Amino acid sequence: MDQQVLQTAKELSVRIIRQAGQIAKDKFDDIADVQIKDEFGDVVTEVDHLAEGVIIAEIQDVFPEHQIHSEEAGVIGADSDWLWLIDPLDGTNNFAIGLPVFSVSITLMYQQEPVLGVVYEPLTDRMFVSMKGEGTYCNDKPVHVKSSPHFPRGNIGWIQGHKVQNDPRAVQLRQFMDIRCKRMMRLWAPTLQWCMLAKGDLDGIVLYNSEGDDLYSGILMVKEAGGVVVDFDGNPFNGMSTEPYIIACHPDHLHQLLQLVREGLSLR
């Protein structure tokens, strides 16, 4: 892996994600166009397209040989070891109803492993940056997942894919966790939950079949902040998956969180 490519990609991502975030900030609470884009009620706004256009154009200018996959535009370019994943507005449904919980996410993958993740929260001006082997930073300060003496009575983030809806198994697990934890948090802006875990503001994440352009930046954030990310069988989660089932937390809490999830899934 070319470290110069990675460093250039980092500098580029930080610059263009601010531009995209500024578009969202300027348009917040003043949206002219909101459209339903699928049968599950997910929406897309003009901001998704405007921010996406800025990001894609800049990446193509600097790295024309890299492949890009973006939330709205789909796949751009030929197969490459380098793949950019873009979510120009993570939390679009929140944005559309005036809820100030959203972000922009850019991930660079190398041979299907995340090596750079940048997440920007425009309304708080929080910039999260993580590069493989170099830790995770929020506004240039290192952050780390935290161990809690009160676990599992902690704050757990729940993330599920749009297609999951009210799948009985997911509902069962979610309700089981909700009863046993202090709080189950559903932000509908997954990248922010991953960043909260990396920063020590959440105690864990349970992700139920939610794969997309907003996933891998968060996974890298948590791993580089000292967290563990495993599948529901307890195996380290690496690479990419079209149907991920994931647990993430501080290493101290892995056994307890894994046991809770297994118990919740085994109920009849």
Binding residue positions: 71, 87, 89-90, 214
Q: Other C-beta atoms within 10 Å of 74: how many?
A: 8
Q: Other C-beta atoms within 10 Å of 127: how many?
A: 18
CB 156 within 8 A of CB 196: no
Which is nearest to 21 in space by CA: 54, 70, 43?
54
Burial grade of 16 (CB within 10 A; 0-12, 13-18, 19 or more): buried
CB 90 within 8 A of CB 215: no
Q: Element (H or E) spanning 249, and its range?
A: strand 245-249
C-alpha separations of 23 from 53, 103, 188 in Å = 11, 11, 20
Q: Which residues are annotated as a binding site for Mg(2+)?
A: 71, 87, 89-90, 214
Q: Which residues contact 75 (CB under 8 A, 6 or more apart)?
A: 67, 68, 69
Amino acid at 113: E
Measure the CA angle with vertex 21, ends 127 and 6; round to 5°. 55
Q: Element (H or E) spanning 75, and its range?
A: strand 74-76
Peptide bond into 152 cis (omega under 30): yes
